Structure 1
Amino acid sequence: MNQLKLDTASQIIDVALAKGRELALAPLCVVVLDAGGHLIAAKREDEASLLRPDIATGKAYGCLAMGFGGRELARRAERSAPFFTALSGLTGGKVVPVPGGVLIRNREGFLLGSIGISGDTSVKDEECALAGIASVELVADTGDAM
């Protein structure tokens, strides 16, 4: 597989949301982007707050824009705040450098897209993303060693 399709993105999202319910998390919003940063699919649970779609998109977009997962984005943002301030301006505020943004790769390491989840803590959001990606037998790249 060298391209994420709608049915695959939908399954990733549905499993991620189910994981959120299993963990009794706050209402989530899940976004899946293709490798070019284009929206494939998104779902926002009832009562998820107003900015959740934007935050989820920013998590997914930031990973694609910089080429690594949200954990590495967070580490770099912590070490180089001025760069990330400039990056935020350059992208119109589209980059959210925290866990919960995960690159999606095939087994050969080819980049297929990304997922962003927002609603609970970033670490819990990421846990849901990992469950969704695993459900379709793809590889999650969080920014930590794979």
Structure 2
Amino acid sequence: MNVHVALTAADAEQLIVAARMAADAAGVAVSVTVVDAGGHLLAFRRDERAVLISGETSTRKAYTALQLDCATADLVEAVQPGGVFHTLPTGLDRPLLFIAGGVPIRREGRLVGALGVGGGAPGQDHAFATAALGTRG
């Protein structure tokens, strides 16, 4: 992998700040997780006012977005009964979480990591995550 493409700790910190700024503007306390291309934790921040489970959900959302290279918001229907991924959340050692708020991070066409936000309503978490990446969706 080209070293210029890789996600750095500084990049991860900038993404966390951007996601938290979007959440703060909406008055929502969140946790934000950034994982690298290998699924390893690169950065994490939980607002002290955020519900405790938000730390776990933000991390699982990031991991899920990375593993499937897709925003978790776009996967919610796939795990419903009859959906293509219906049994996937329980079929792995490391659980995936199909709730909006996880987004893959791509550079120069390559998947370099993922960002997860937890603590708000799913649509809010997705909006904060995409705002941090400077995208819409």
Q: State the TM-score bracket (shorter-chain normalisation).
A: 0.7 to 0.9
Q: Shift in Å at residue 52 of structure 1?
A: 1.1
- Select the structure that is richer in helix: 1
Aligned pair in 2 of structure 1 residues 52, 92: CA closer, same or farther (>3 Å)? farther
How many angstroms apart in 2 are the aligned matches of 1:49 and 1:71? Answer: 21
Letter in 2 for 1:91: L
Q: Percent identity?
A: 29
Q: How many residue pairs align between the two structures?
A: 134
Unaligned runs of 5+ in 2: none
Normalising by structure 1, we get a TM-score of 0.82
**What is the match of residue 23 of structure 2?**
20
Letter in 2 for 1:48: A
Q: Shift in Å at residue 68 of structure 1?
A: 1.7
How many angstroms apart in 2 are the aligned matches of 1:83 and 1:104? Answer: 22
How many angstroms apart in 2 are the aligned matches of 1:100 and 1:127? Answer: 7
Normalising by structure 2, we get a TM-score of 0.87
**What is the match of residue 109 of structure 1?**
109
Q: Is the 8 A contact 1:63 1:73 kept in 2?
A: no
**What is the match of residue 48 of structure 2?**
46
Instruction: Give the aligned CA root-mean-square deviation in angstroms.
Output: 2.0
- Show CA shifts across 1:27-70 (max 9, x none): 10000001110000000001211211111111111112223221
Q: Shift in Å at residue 79 of structure 1?
A: 5.6
How many angstroms apart in 1 are the aligned matches of 2:51 and 2:96? Answer: 19
Q: Is the 8 A contact 2:77 2:83 kept in 1?
A: no
How many angstroms apart in 1 are the aligned matches of 2:6 and 2:81? Answer: 33
TM superposition outliers: structure 1 runs of 4+ over 3 Å: 79-84
How many angstroms apart in 2 are the aligned matches of 1:2 and 1:35? Answer: 11
**What is the match of residue 37 of structure 1?**
39
Structure 1 counterpart of 2:80, from 56, 71, 78: 78
